[in-house]
């Protein structure tokens, strides 16, 4: 048992279940008598909600986590953390998802055999998130790491899922032969699992579901192989690969049967569309692509851009330029909403080619610029993922100096997950948590909320002229200067590439403007010679202050004032003092 006293925190409020939650899960919650039972009941509700709303699933997981921490059941805490990270990742809140994964991994390292299983499950989830982000090599490392520990994995399903996901990674990075190799191994793994159950006189649960997953990924691998053969101008071999894909696709359709999993049926229609497209059957390809699009529409708030991407490719092959561009934009909208950075890059690249083929060079250039912008955004999130190490190391612990309890390791991982790894300031997740705390600390206070955006002027030229390494040093220095200048109770976060956010409770506009003017002046007055030579550095600041005020509305107004500061010549704080005087 842990060597700390039982939590004396107040009980969390009773959860508000969405109408979709079935009666048996509600009953389980009502029958729960201990914190552990309550946490387990809420975790089951979170699992159920994953098929309806990732956001609600994550919120229910958060409530389950409060009870689990009170019970101090490490296994249950780790399982809930993993559930939250998966739901957040599927909902495109990647930075938060990686933060919860860091806590899961840190906690797993404090446990024995069950901790090993949780660690492997966490690596599988992290690999899936990285794959969706476009970090294929990071995903490959995670899945291969799971497979390398085959002898240590208590649950063979984890190994199977890692192998199946690895097939998708290799297909994405255009290594179809390796993808096919792993898909064959996945089939062998599944057969071994089924036989092991039969040897115990048991039926494997969800066997058809796993068999469908293995078959579907094998179809995807053969289609990628066919594309490669087409590029190599080997038509006979390409049609042989397509014949294999078609046979497997028929098998997958039979396995899907009358299953009500709309997502799976949509994906099979997408594969059918691509198969027909490779056979130059454009009419058949369009039929399947439109079926896939209709299934996507039926999903409501979709997180699957694949159908519209397939339709765009078919329409492009039919030389229906405007319709193809519209389908690409639909795919792009969905990919952006769900943070599918890999798909975003794919769509923008093909959209650029379409514009170029139509002679619209400006449109092609816009698409490529957009692709570069989103690539930088994806790299920021990938960098955050790299910060989440497989273990949380504690200085001195290897030599037997500091010994941390599992609770302290968990708190350390949570703290790291809320920090920007480059500057040490809060990241967006840390900012959200700290703002929530600030709101409760000042509940009923008359002090208005100050929200300010501080942006480094002409920062791109710093990277272009001096290198990104120098740019990183500049960002760290600005962060240190702002931290030293602001009050100790001020929230500071790195909000974007070269953009910082400051939030605090202040007395009035005069105090707010004075604080931000000090921040501006300290950046301008700093000796940047060692880093930038003869170049100076300045920041522009926009802020909002009000009572009452919501963070979202204040942030929007601060952004408008930041734009005004930039337009007015930079290196200034907006609203300016004269404007304030006329308003007061």
pLDDT tens for residues 4-25?
334 445 566 788 888 888 999 9
Structural element, H or E, at residue 408: helix 406-417
pLDDT of 583 above 70: no
Lowest mean pLDDT among 1-5, 142-146, 513-517: 1-5
501 DSSP β-pair partners: 453, 493
Lowest mean pLDDT among 272-276, 319-323, 488-492: 488-492
| Residues 477, 539 contacting (CB under 8 angstroms) | no
Rounded to an integer, the average pLDDT of 452-470 is 87
Count of CA atoms in the C-beta half-sphere (13 A) of 354: 26
pLDDT of 449 above 70: yes
55-77 pLDDT per residue, tens: 788 889 988 988 998 888 889 99
Whether residue 50 lies in the annotated active site: no
Cα separation, 249 vs 270, whole angstroms: 11
Rounded to an integer, the average pLDDT of 534-543 is 93
Is cis: bond before 310, omega within 30 of 0? no
Look at residue 390 in the predicted model and tell me its pLDDT: 39
Predicted TM-score (pTM) of the model is: 0.66
Rounded to an integer, the average pLDDT of 198-223 is 90
80-95 pLDDT per residue, tens: 999 998 888 877 777 7
At the topology level of CATH, where does 418-583 sit?
Answer: Alpha-Beta Plaits (3.30.70)
Distances from the Cα of 56 to the Cαs of 91, 175, 261, in angstroms?
10, 37, 20
375-431 pLDDT per residue, tens: 666 666 666 555 444 343 433 334 334 445 666 556 656 666 677 777 878 887 778
Look at residue 572 in the predicted model and tell me its pLDDT: 94
The rounded percent of the chain whose pLDDT value lies above 70 is 85
Mean per-residue pLDDT over the chain, rounded: 83
∠ CA 157-163-166, nearest 5°, is: 140
361-388 pLDDT per residue, tens: 887 788 777 777 766 666 666 665 554 4
Residue 175 sits at φ, ψ, to 5 deg, of -125, 65
∠ CA 97-157-168, nearest 5°, is: 65
Structure tokens at 542: 């926009």
Look at residue 386 in the predicted model and tell me its pLDDT: 52
Cα separation, 473 vs 561, whole angstroms: 27
Instruction: Decide: residue 536, CB within 10 A, 0-12 exposed, 13-18 middle, 19+ buried.
Output: middle
| Residues 513, 580 contacting (CB under 8 angstroms) | yes
570 Ramachandran zone, left/alpha/beta (phi>0; psi -120 to 50)? left
Residue 324 sits at φ, ψ, to 5 deg, of -65, -45
Look at residue 582 in the predicted model and tell me its pLDDT: 41
Candidate ranges 209-213, 282-286, 338-342; pick with highest mean pLDDT: 282-286
pLDDT of 301 above 80: no
Look at residue 225 in the predicted model and tell me its pLDDT: 94
89-122 pLDDT per residue, tens: 877 777 778 888 888 888 888 887 788 889 899 9
Structural element, H or E, at residue 125: helix 113-133
Look at residue 544 in the predicted model and tell me its pLDDT: 92
540 DSSP β-pair partners: 455
Rounded to an integer, the average pLDDT of 560-578 is 88
Q: Which residue has the tokens 């509600």?
A: 26
Q: Which of 498, 499, 517, 524 is catalytic?
A: 498
Band (pLDDT 50/70/90 cuts) for residue 562 is very high
| Residues 295, 258 contacting (CB under 8 angstroms) | no
| Residues 316, 289 contacting (CB under 8 angstroms) | no
112-153 pLDDT per residue, tens: 778 888 989 999 999 988 888 778 888 898 999 888 887 766
CA-wise closest residue to 193 among 185, 204, 202, 184? 204
Domain ranges of the chain: 418-583
pLDDT of 199 above 70: yes
Look at residue 347 in the predicted model and tell me its pLDDT: 85
DSSP 46-77: HHHHTTT-HHHHHHHHHHHHHHHHHHT-HHHH
pLDDT of 309 above 70: yes
498 Ramachandran zone, left/alpha/beta (phi>0; psi -120 to 50)? alpha
Cα separation, 574 vs 516, whole angstroms: 10
Which residue has better confidence, 242 or 298? 242
519-526, Cβ contacts within 8 angstroms, sequence gap of 24 or more: 519/454, 519/481, 519/482, 519/485, 519/486, 520/454, 520/571, 520/572, 520/573, 522/481, 522/482, 522/484, 522/485, 523/456, 523/478, 523/481, 523/482, 524/571, 526/477, 526/481
């Amino acid at each position: 048992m842990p060597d700390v006293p039982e939590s004396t925190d107040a009980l969390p409020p009773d959860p508000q279940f969405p109408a979709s939650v079935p009666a048996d899960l509600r009953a389980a919650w009502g029958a729960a008598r201990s914190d552990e039972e309550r946490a387990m009941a809420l975790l089951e509700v979170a699992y159920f909600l994953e098929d309806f709303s990732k956001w609600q699933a994550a919120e229910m997981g958060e409530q389950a986590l409060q009870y689990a921490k009170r019970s101090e059941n490490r296994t249950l805490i780790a399982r809930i953390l993993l559930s939250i990270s998966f739901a957040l990742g599927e909902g495109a809140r990647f930075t938060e998802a990686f933060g919860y994964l860091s806590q899961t991994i840190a906690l797993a390292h404090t446990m024995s055999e069950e901790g090993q299983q949780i660690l492997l499950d966490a690596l599988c989830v992290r690999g899936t998130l990285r794959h969706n982000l476009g970090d294929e090599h990071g995903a490959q490392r995670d899945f291969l790491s799971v497979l390398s520990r085959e002898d240590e994995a208590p649950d063979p399903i984890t190994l199977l899922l890692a192998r199946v996901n690895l097939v998708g990674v290799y297909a994405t990075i255009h290594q179809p032969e390796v993808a096919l190799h792993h898909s064959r191994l996945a089939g062998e793994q599944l057969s071994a699992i089924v036989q092991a159950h039969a040897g115990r006189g048991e039926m494997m649960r969800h066997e058809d579901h796993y068999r469908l997953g293995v078959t579907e990924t094998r179809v995807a691998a053969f289609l990628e192989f066919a594309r490669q053969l087409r590029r190599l101008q080997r038509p006979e071999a390409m049609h042989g690969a397509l014949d294999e894909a078609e046979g497997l696709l028929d098998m997958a359709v039979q396995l899907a049967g009358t299953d009500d999993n709309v997502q799976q049926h949509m994906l099979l229609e997408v594969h059918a569309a691509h198969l027909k497209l490779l056979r130059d059957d454009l009419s058949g390809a369009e039929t399947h692509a439109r079926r896939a699009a209709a299934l996507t529409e039926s999903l409501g708030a979709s997180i699957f851009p694949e159908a519209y991407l397939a339709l765009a490719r078919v329409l492009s092959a039919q030389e229906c330029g405007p319709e193809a561009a519209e389908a690409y934009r639909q795919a792009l909208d969905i990919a952006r909403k769900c943070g599918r950075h890999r798909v975003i890059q794919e769509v923008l690249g093909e959209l650029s080619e379409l514009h170029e083929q139509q002679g619209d060079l400006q449109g092609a250039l816009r698409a490529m610029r957009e692709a570069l912008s989103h690539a930088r955004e994806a790299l920021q999130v990938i960098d955050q993922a790299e910060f989440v190490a497989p273990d949380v190391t504690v200085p001195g612990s290897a030599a037997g100096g500091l010994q941390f309890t599992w609770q302290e390791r968990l708190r350390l991982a949570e703290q790291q997950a809320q920090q920007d790894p480059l500057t040490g300031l809060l990241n967006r997740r840390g900012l959200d948590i700290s703002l929530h705390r600030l709101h409760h600390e000042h509940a009923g206070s008359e002090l208005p909320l100050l929200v300010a955006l501080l942006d480094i002027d002409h920062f791109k030229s710093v990277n272009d002229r001096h290198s990104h390494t120098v740019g990183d040093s500049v960002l760290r220095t600005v962060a240190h200067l702002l931290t030293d200048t602001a009050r100790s109770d001020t929230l500071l976060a790195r909000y974007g590439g070269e953009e910082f956010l400051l939030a605090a409770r202040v007395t009035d506009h005069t105090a707010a403007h004075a604080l931000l003017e000090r921040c501006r002046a300290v950046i301008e007055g700093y000796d940047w010679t060692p880093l930038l030579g003869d170049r100076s550095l300045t920041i522009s600041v926009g802020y909002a202050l009000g009572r009452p005020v919501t963070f979202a509305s204040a942030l929007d107004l601060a952004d408008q004032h930041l734009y005004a500061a930039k337009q007015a010549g930079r290196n200034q704080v907006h609203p300016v003092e004269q404007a304030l005087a006329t308003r007061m």
